[in-house]
Amino acid sequence: MHSFIIKNTLTEAEENYLISRFSDCMKFFKVPEQDIEELYDRLYFEYSAWSRLYHNLSHIYSLLRLSEQYRSKLNNPFVVDLAIWFHDIVYDASKKDNELQSAILFEDLMRPFIEKEVVEMVRSLILSTYGHKPLIPDDNDHQFFLDFDLSILASDRETYRIYSDAIREEYKSLFSFLVYNGGRKKVLHAFLDRKMLYFSEHFRSNCEAMARQNLEWEILYLG
């Protein structure tokens, strides 16, 4: 599995990769050249907000690398890529409707360029990240998209620690450590109580055990 990067500033090569992948996606949907740059600038602006320590461009970069790696397993790879780009375009740690607002903004920005059927597919993928359960359970792309998004849970321990700390930093201005730790542990326990964390056979076989070990470790790490 591709290793995750978690940082605020990307290298020139990483930024060029994002630009290239976005351009390829937009050209597939026949978005006019002048609109591609404007859309990318909007995404870049939103994902570069100072408050985003994890849900930033490095997160998008990591998921796009995964979608590239598993492209042959996806039914509609460019639809999945659209969902990757827009699933966290709205992210405010103080709000509980980020997924819905991201889906709404995606529709506002992309409806002029893509067919209604594609809009609905991407909307369903984005909304599936609320609670991390596929709205279309048997759909291959829903399964892999959600597995990409949660694959960070199965990363090596040091990367997982950096991820855990980054999530905490996103809530730093909202909650005390005591309040945050209690809430975060409830989330972690809820994941552990699931019958399965991953929906595709591939990710279940390769990531489930490590992800559960990391979740248990973080509960102890939080104290």
SS3 assignment, position 127: helix
What string of pLDDT tens digits covers the 223 residues of the chain? Answer: 667 999 999 999 999 999 999 999 999 999 999 999 999 999 999 999 999 999 999 999 999 999 999 999 999 999 999 999 999 999 999 999 999 999 999 999 999 999 999 999 999 999 999 999 999 999 999 999 999 999 999 999 999 999 999 999 999 999 999 999 999 999 999 999 999 999 999 999 999 999 999 999 999 999 8
Structure tokens at 188: 């972690």
- What are 16-42's pLDDT values in tens digits? 999 999 999 999 999 999 999 999 999
| Residues 1 and 206: beta-carbon distance below 8 Å | yes
Q: CA-CA distance, 32 to 29, in Å (whole number)?
A: 9
- CATH superfamily to which 12-222 belongs: 3'5'-cyclic nucleotide phosphodiesterase, catalytic domain (1.10.1300.10)
Per-domain boundaries in the chain: 12-222
- Give the Cα separation of 49 and 69 in Å (integer): 28
What is the separation of C-alpha 7 from the centre of its chain, rounded to a whole number of angstroms?
Answer: 15
